[in-house]
Amino acid sequence: MYHYNTSEARKHLNEIVNRVRYEKISISLGRRGKTEVLIVPSVELDQEIPVSEINAQSPSFDFLAEEPDIYSIKDIKKRYV
């Protein structure tokens, strides 16, 4: 992940926005080498959805489709008494 301090970010905001938008990368911003915020690509949605469901629509987790299923529904289902 790329990191910019806040002074650099002010000078290069247009470049940062373009890189995030077109290269689909995340960039961190912060002070003294510590990340304070992340700039991430916006999700293109076909329809308006609640903010709480944006991650489900985001390509950010597409890599998980290639991961093996190591848990079954039975493993993760909890029963509440």
CATH number at residue 57: 3.40.1620.10
Q: For residue 33, what is the DSSP state?
A: T
* Block mean pLDDT (10 aa), the chain, length 81: 91 94 91 91 72 69 74 65 43
What domain count does the chain have? 1
Q: Report pLDDT for 65.
A: 75
pLDDT at res. 1: 79
Residue 81 maps to a domain: no
Distance CA 33, CA 72 (A): 41
Tell me the residue range of the domain where 38 lies: 2-76
pTM, entire model: 0.54
